[in-house]
Structure 1
Amino acid sequence: MIRSSSSIFSLLRQYRSIPISVASIVPYNRLSSISKPTHLRSFTKSSNFSSVYLNLSHFSLRFRLQHSMASDSSSPKSIHEFTVKDARGNDVDLSTYKGKVLLIVNVASQCGLTNSNYTEMSELYAKYKDKGLEILAFPCNQFGNQEPGNNDEILEFACTRFKAEYPIFDKVDVNGDTAAPIYKFLKSSKGGLFGDGIKWNFTKFLVDKEGNVVERYAPTTSPSSIEKDIKKRLGDS
């Protein structure tokens, strides 16, 4: 009988290439058909090996399940779990928006969609900000280099030309390995028609009062056309 933990883990390493599911479906007397080290072949004929092998497989499966559950539990479940930087470099804890309906948009200053989107976003905000709507604008320069300015220039453009009163955040990437964590969460919560990646400037995500991503809209979807969805989430239908 194997007594030491080092021997048990030695066995586990030598049989790591055997799928865990094999232990649950292959009787011990058929394990001899599985490729294994020569010095262990005689050992597989005993019931002791069957017991140890099954126990090791159970242990490995249990460990993997627990590790997976731990990873899942550490994944964000809500927008409110994120902290982001605003355009002035201040940290903003998005839990401060609990109870608010959020429209999150990646914006650009030199896009063909800029004028209409900024204008309608300002109109929506003026109409519903006192009823619980917040618009969170995230500048991004990944699409045609159409947001080349620094944060001060972006703020001046949005606030002077379009009278934007909603918060504007630090410039971020929304795609690729350098994508901001909040955008990785948004994309994983609501994929697009042709994949999760953001396709262009002014992609929009609607977030409910509990921080759940409930809708995603294409860049060409005008802010005014989703007013009914905003009203529904605000309870103002």
Structure 2
Amino acid sequence: MTVYDAVAIDRLQGGSAELGQYLGKAVLIVNVASKCGLTPQYTALEELQKKYADRGFTVLGVPCNQFMGQEPGSADEIAEFCSATYGVTFPMTEKVDVNGDARHPLYGNLVGAADAEGHTGDIRWNFEKFLVGRGGDVVARFSPQTTPDADEVVQAIEREIGA
């Protein structure tokens, strides 16, 4: 069973998106927030998107308001903020819970993966990152403080896309 099996998530501005559409691509899934100290990571996420999109890679932003209410906006407000402030072109989903009883099934499939320090389980903060390989398996997990352009993230992406 892969991350994408039987999981759908709504797009930020409406309509369902089957996650299976990403099978065959490497995907960096990131729980994002607009009013967080880590929000400037959007810049590096967009740079990754531009650099690797034509090579079978995408970033998938997943807004979440579970960490000190740092993603309070509506879908339209989030989309406008990301576009106007950071020029985001990568796909974004609806706002979801990543922890707790209402955790979205996507995150239920992600949180079992360990990061470099061995952390598994609940998402610790905004901008935790999961790299999903072309086959739909989690191949790496990165802490919120690990920037998207950190060597370990870039190297993991390049391994997955065959750079």
Give the structure 2 partner of residue 216 of structure 1: 141
Note the 1:149-164 alignment, pairs <5 A: 149-164=73-88
Q: Percent identity?
A: 42
* Aligned mates of 1:113, 1:130 — CA distance in 2: 27
Q: TM-score, normalised by structure 2?
A: 0.93
Note the 1:1-150 alignment, pairs <5 A: 77-81=1-5, 82-115=7-40, 117-150=41-74
Q: What RMSD, in angstroms, separates the aligned Cα atoms of the two structures? A: 1.1
Q: Which has more strand, going by share of residues?
A: 2
Which amino acid is the alignment partner of residue 228 of structure 1? Q
Q: Which runs of 5+ in 1 are unaligned?
A: 1-76
After superposition, give the CA deviation of every residue in 1:86-111 in whole Å (9 maximum; x if it has no partner).
11221111111121000000000010
Which amino acid is the alignment partner of residue 127 of structure 2? F
Partner SS, residue 160 of structure 1: helix
1:203 maps to which of 128, 135, 147: 128
**Is residue 2:158 matched to residue 1:234?**
no
* Aligned mates of 1:110, 1:91 — CA distance in 2: 26
* Aligned mates of 1:191, 1:217 — CA distance in 2: 9
Q: Is the 8 A contact 1:175 1:198 kept in 2?
A: yes
Cα distance 1:110–1:216, how it changes in 2: closer, same or farther (>3 A)? same
Report the Cα offset of residue 144 of structure 1.
1.1
Equivalent pairs, count: 158
* Aligned mates of 1:119, 1:200 — CA distance in 2: 18
* Aligned mates of 2:4, 2:66 — CA distance in 1: 25
Report the Cα offset of residue 79 of structure 1.
2.1
Q: Is the 8 A contact 1:108 1:146 kept in 2?
A: yes
Q: Which has more helix, going by share of residues?
A: 1
Which amino acid is the alignment partner of residue 52 of structure 2? Y
Report the Cα offset of residue 195 of structure 1.
4.3
* Aligned mates of 1:201, 1:221 — CA distance in 2: 11
After superposition, give the CA deviation of every residue in 1:44-81 in whole Å (9 maximum; x if it has no partner).
xxxxxxxxxxxxxxxxxxxxxxxxxxxxxxxxx11221
* Aligned mates of 1:195, 1:165 — CA distance in 2: 30
Q: TM-score, normalised by structure 1?
A: 0.65
